[in-house]
A and B are shown apart, each in its own frame.
Chain A
Amino acid sequence: PVTCRHDDLKEMLDSNKDSLKLEAMKRIVAMIARGKNASDLFPAVVKNVACKNIEVKKLVYVYLVRYAEEQQDLALLSISTFQRGLKDPNQLIRASALRVLSSIRVPIIVPIMMLAIKEAASDMSPYVRKTAAHAIPKLYSLDSDQKDQLIEVIEKLLADKTTLVAGSVVMAFEEVCPERIDLIHKNYRKLCNLLIDVEEWGQVVIINMLTRYARTQFLSPNQNESLLEENPEKAFYGSDEEDSKDDKPDAASLVKRKPYVMDPDHRLLLRNTKPLLQSRNAAVVMAVAQLYFHLAPKAEVGVIAKALVRLLRSHRSVQWVVLQNVATMSIKRRGMFEPYLKSFYIRSTDPTQIKILKLEVLTNLANETNISTILREFQTYIRSMDKDFVAATIQAIGRCATNIGKVRDTCLNGLVQLLSNRDELVVAESVVVIKKLLQMQPSQHSEIIKHMAKLTDNIQVPMARASILWLIGEYCEHVPKIAPDVLRKMSKSFTGEEDIVKLQVINLAAKLYLTNSKQSKLLTQYVLNLAKYDQNYDIRDRARFIRQLIVPTEKSGALNKYAKKLFLAQKPAPILESSFKDRDHFQLGSLSHLLNAKAVGYQELPDWPDEAPDPSVRNVEVPWLPTLRFSLSLSFPDPESVSESESESSSSSSESGSDSGSRGEESGDQSEEEEEEKKKKKKGKEGPRKVCPESAGRYHRHWRGEGAGSATSWELRNTSRDMGGLQPISPCLFLMPLTPSIFRRDQLITSQPQHVPTAFLPPSAQMLSPVFSTMKTYELLHRMAGEGLSVEYYFNRQPFPPDPHMVAVQIQFSNNTESEVKNLRVSEPKLVSGMRIQEFQEIGQSMVGIDTCPQLPGVNWAGSFSLWHVSSSTHSRQFYVSIQPPVGELMAPVFMSENEFKKEQSESAMLRSQPDPESCRRGELR
């Protein structure tokens, strides 16, 4: 009948009616879904690959991808259809063709796939490029020899600036070449900035990758603290002498170490991931949490606790994973979960595995102050119906007792009471835990040992029996009367005991023989004889070994003398510690961490480097910053001077708009700028006066949110894409929370309020005076390139008197040649978007030797990011140079009150509230 039915399907597939084909395909897909074999239909199905009906076509694809591996030759028939599809003008069809083509696991088409991926990687459509990124791991798993070529494609796609591609290409990177961390350098800042707009799944992959990246590139933010931290611990555990020895080198190394300054890129990552803690996606929240745990300074890690606790409200499986991670974190950073202690309280309806994990966390959080609350809570748990949970609670009590000396006796008493519990499991577990506790201070508790000795009559759980026997043996001197009697009883039941119990009986016998041979010699012999013929070879072995050791014979060697020392040596008390201890050497949130074993493909989380690698590798040439390009001309002694000027200007702000997925907020700035600029143009103004409300808003947020001034300086620095221009901005700017300041582009520093342009600033806004200035100079022209003339420039951050809207740029010429230089000129360019330059006076006189001559042109960058080429020329030589000011140099700090700030902000919000669908990108509107 099977073949019959399939014949029927084949007939339907061969028919001309789409409806019949569709029906047939639906039935076939249903078969596949149920796991039934439909491979014999392959020829009939593959014919329909070019069917016009979309649904039939899609179902054929489903079939093809499922069976192509098994029917490679026939599958090749379909390839040409997809190759055609790759050339389709519609991006969605191109993408879909690539997607199916790359999913067909037929090695012979590897070259075709490679070609298709390469082409798609430079497709106009980001969606097709995304599909190309998805295809990379598929091809790699089919043929790993393609790795080198694929890495090239990955490198290309990593440079892609759209959010759509970012997640997928990082995924491909992780699967193909996770070790090529060098490919990330140039894309690091971009990835950080795009992150918030990437889809959820991509965010997880990117964050995990960046965690690893950061561990290789930055210094540990906790290095100093960790040194400080170790010391008190040593004082606690180690002897005093050791401590004093250890202290000195530590102190020395502390002194030697440079004060830690966080790399701004490190800060960028922390700052840009933080909002994602509020994602609805548990995987994203976990990814950020692990990033903070592994990378953030200790003082900042706390923010993740709230978000993790929130996840505990989610599905059971989510809870389970989150609790495991919280358990690991709570060992290292107990403090951060302490405020949420009660969120880990256990309900009787929680599944056992959740209960046990919560218990683990509660135990980790226990300290002197909260222990009484926790123990009260534990008392409720002990009465639970869930016996596994009760057993775990008893262990937890044991751990609390070992860790917190204050409550040891209370715990011990509580556990002893449990010995009369009706449930044997509870008793057994208590015995095991009590044994461990008693080992810490045996002499005071012979009563308890006696009590436990009595339990051997009733308790059947092997582990508990073994524990009791061990206790009695170990402390037989505290219970001299009872011990031999217990041995007597146990020797009677020896043959019926479990192996672990038997071993402990032998142990007990040996110890009694050594301390009290009069009463126990015969019993010991008897037990050893029984053990000699035991089925288990471990037991036979142990018996033989012990007999030789304790019973003195002629043959027995020197060890015999030391038998007592061997058996009754002082044994260190066991340390009851969490099974989650040290699990954090696995990256948190990973499968490997969960299993506590390295999973296939796990990428080790590297240790922090001792010396930070060169941070400049992340620097990127930024095309969209305003650039002042000169060509400098100069004449060597030749008297005739012909000057020519050339100027060029191009606005790159539109380009940067698309670039600047760079960062949600930033692109917001830009779109506004564009809008404002349009407005200005309408007014026929040159629009030099511009405030950047968005960026102000951002600073404002930092003040309110974090109160951390340094964050702002990083912000600036990163906006400027690290032009190297800004020193960490002086504290003066930031010690005034809630007093936002606005940075103006065109004027960095003026001390007089009258210089404040009015168009976009409320009248009361006050400029800040320059509180610091750097004399950092930038090279404009190297003397080698300039044939002897070297030119440097710097921003002197002083008001430029002729025009307050201009930024002063100090240019310094030095002539390093023997000969004269004459007629140096910079010509005024024609500028589109309102950029102006103050006339530059020709340097007519000759310069000989090391003669420097500062010049002070004012440049108005007019608020837009536009390129500015200036050529300065004399007759004989012309050099093209450019100035790219850091954004910070184009802004001026001002004071305004909070209300004014809000007003500004709402005005800017008005601008944003009319979204045209094209510009509705999330980033722009955020």
Chain B
Amino acid sequence: MIHSLFLINCSGDIFLEKHWKSVVSQSVCDYFFEAQEKAADVENVPPVISTPHHYLISIYREKIFFVSVIQTEVPPLFVIEFLHRVADTFQDYFGECSETAIKDNVVIVYELLEEMLDNGFPLATESNILKELIKPPTILRSVVNSITGSSNMGETLPTGQLSNIPWRKAVVKYTNNEAYFDVIEEIDAIIDKSGSTVFAEIQGVIDSCIKLSGMPDLSLSFMNPRLLDDVSFHPCIRFKRWESERVLSFIPPDGNFRLISYRVSSQNLVAIPVYVKHIISFKENSSSGRFDVTIGPKQNMGKTVEGVIVTVHMPKAVLNMNLTSTQGSYTFDPVLKVLTWDIGKISPQKLPNLKGIVNLQSGAPKPEENPSLNIQFKIQQLAISGLKVNRLDMFGEKYKPFKGVKYITKAGKFQVRT
């Protein structure tokens, strides 16, 4: 299956390599570099590249290319999903999945890779098991280690691997037992020029942070489970209970994990929380254009829309922009031609507006297209679909846990065409 892995940074340095079978020379990456050069940008490097003797399957995460070398037929998604799992594990262990973090913790990284694959086939990918095998670094521990010479390697044997609940550590103990659920919903939308919705959909996840001792068996129920149209589950969830009763019943992993992802059924009309008024125009035979954007809250259900950021990819001919904003600050990157307007909270009384002149390269033809506006926002304490957690019950343990649910709505891929 997976033969080797190379980690490559944006400047093309191979800063880590790991082989699970015979060693494959670094020169195989030349094919990757070739493809990278051909692609206009990092986003367009094809994830699967065929070379005379190998296949290269890669992902791009946090400015790092994870390039795996394959020799025989294997489902590409299998490899891609695994590589993402590797990146997630690094994130989980080091707090970030950056080149520096990987270089600083190269031994742990190596140990992790060793445990995650055996002969190229995934062995242990559950965070809970890995953490039992290899302890994540903490500042305190690294200080202690450097003094005492002790290690990050778990002294205990990884019993979790043998258990029937492979996602949960065997012995978990907390003084404060807590279970938190974050219901996070994202609105994906395409709004057309006239302001009508071309496409809108709500995608949600429930991220959990569970710190409960022993072997708790939880069941989480909703007031309106019918809203959930398409759900994907963490392996801990009992599919049958969901099918029959629409209750999420599970023995949770320890720590942070994504419990479910869901899509709200498309029959429900999606309430779009903001509206945008925009005039972006370029004059024929003149080297300037007009830019005027106002953004305002719509059905916000009494909640404030905050964290609003508008990003616009301007046409290539744009040299710079002279704008004034009534609220927030804007920046224009003349190299990438990206305008970013950081607004913050929107108050309905005074709508934020950004307007001014766009300067074009002299002599360049009038851009044919108008750029689209990408909007980000957040609404606290609101799940836009109306999804509500009903209750959380715990079985199997005697103590009373502290329970909490938080709702938040965000813009997902939210685009306004102009």
A interface residues with partner B (beta carbon < 8 Å): 17-20, 22-23, 26, 29-30, 32-35, 53-55, 58-59, 61-62, 66, 69, 90-93, 99, 102-103, 105, 125-127, 131, 134-135, 137-138, 141, 168, 171, 196, 199-201, 204, 208, 275, 278-283, 285-287, 306-307, 309-310, 313, 315-318, 320-322, 339, 342-343, 345, 347-349, 351-353, 377, 380, 383-385, 421-423, 589-592, 594-595, 597, 599-603, 664-665, 697, 700-701, 705, 905, 913-915, 917, 920-922, 925-926
Contact = CB atoms under 8 A, between A and B. Distances in A.
Given A29-B107, A701-B243, A922-B238, A281 B190 contact: no
A347 B232 contact: no
A58 B415 CA distance: 51
B223 interface: no
B151 A55 contact: yes
A19 to B, nearest CB: 3
B333 interface: no
Given A33-B16, A321-B77, A385-B316, 15 more contacts: A30-B107, A54-B151, A105-B21, A127-B162, A201-B78, A208-B75, A275-B243, A281-B81, A317-B58, A318-B81, A342-B198, A353-B44, A701-B244, A922-B165, A922-B236
A30 B74 CA distance: 30
A93 B161 CA distance: 13
A913 B235 contact: no
A29 B106 contact: yes
5 A-B pairs with least C-beta separation: A19-B149, A601-B72, A55-B153, A351-B43, A55-B151
A589 B74 CA distance: 9
A377 B40 CA distance: 25
A280 B48 contact: no
B81 A283 contact: yes
Contacts of B243: 275, 701, 705
B240 A665 contact: yes
Given A201-B122, A348-B371, A701-B240, A590 B75 contact: yes
B77 A318 contact: yes
Contacts of B266: 339
A201 B166 CA distance: 13
Contacts of B75: 204, 208, 283, 286-287, 589-591
Contacts of A201: 78, 82, 121-122, 125
Given A105-B22, A348-B415, A925-B238, A590 B155 contact: no
Given A33-B16, A353-B44, A380-B417, A58 B73 contact: no
B315 interface: yes
Nearest to A921: B164
A322 B22 CA distance: 31
A384 B369 contact: yes
A200 B149 CA distance: 37
Given A54-B153, A280-B233, A705-B243, A33 B43 contact: no
A204 B78 contact: yes
Contacts of B73: 590-592, 599-603
A284 to B, nearest CB: 8
A278 to B, nearest CB: 5
A286 B78 CA distance: 9
A22 B148 CA distance: 12
Given A35-B17, A380-B417, A422 B365 contact: yes
B125 A347 contact: no
A579 to B, nearest CB: 15
A347 B74 CA distance: 31
- Interface hub of A22, A105, A602 (most chain B Cβ within 10 A): A22
Contacts of A345: 190, 198-199
Interface residues of B, number: 108
B315 A385 contact: yes
B241 A926 contact: yes
B269 interface: no
Contact of B413 (A320, A349, A380, A383): A349
Contacts of B17: 33-35
Interface in B93-125: 106-107, 109-111, 114, 118-119, 121-123, 125
Contacts of A309: 230
Given A282-B80, A315-B59, A705-B243, A18 B149 contact: yes
Contacts of B59: 315, 317
26 contacts: A17-B149, A26-B107, A29-B107, A54-B155, A69-B22, A92-B159, A92-B161, A131-B118, A171-B121, A201-B125, A278-B233, A280-B233, A280-B234, A282-B80, A286-B77, A307-B230, A317-B58, A321-B77, A342-B199, A343-B201, A349-B374, A349-B415, A385-B367, A591-B74, A601-B73, A926-B241
- Interface hub of A34, A102, A592 (most chain B Cβ within 10 A): A34
B313 A349 contact: yes
Contacts of A92: 157-159, 161-162
A22 B368 contact: no
A697 B244 contact: yes
A913 B393 CA distance: 11
Nearest to A923: B164
Contacts of B46: 320, 353
A141 B367 CA distance: 59
B80 A318 contact: yes
A271 to B, nearest CB: 12
A126 B40 CA distance: 50
B408 to A, nearest CB: 17
B121 A915 contact: no
A89 B368 CA distance: 75
B9 interface: no
B47 A317 contact: yes
A342 B197 CA distance: 11
B50 interface: yes
- Interface hub of A53, A310, A705 (most chain B Cβ within 10 A): A310
A59 B368 contact: no
B111 A279 contact: no
A922 B164 contact: yes
B76 A594 contact: yes
Contacts of B316: 385
B244 A926 contact: no
A102 B232 CA distance: 37
A468 B145 CA distance: 75
A640 B239 CA distance: 64
Contacts of A103: 118-119
Contacts of B232: 278-280, 285, 307, 310
Contacts of B50: 595, 597
A35 B28 CA distance: 13
Given A29-B110, A914-B396, A922-B164, A35 B14 contact: yes
B231 A313 contact: no
Interface string B366-377: 011111101000
B203 interface: yes
A920 B55 contact: no
Contacts of A62: 110-111, 114
Nearest to B147: A19
Interface string B40-68: 11011011101000010011110000000
B23 interface: yes
B261 interface: yes
B395 A33 contact: no
A316 B81 contact: no
B70 interface: yes
Contact of A280 (B74, B111, B258): B258
Contact of A591 (B16, B70, B230): B70
Contacts of B231: 278
- Interface hub of B125, B203, B238 (most chain A Cβ within 10 A): B238
A321 B58 CA distance: 12
B18 interface: yes
A339 B125 CA distance: 35
Given A54-B151, A280-B261, A913-B217, A168 B21 contact: no
B19 interface: yes
Interface string B167-186: 00000000000000000000
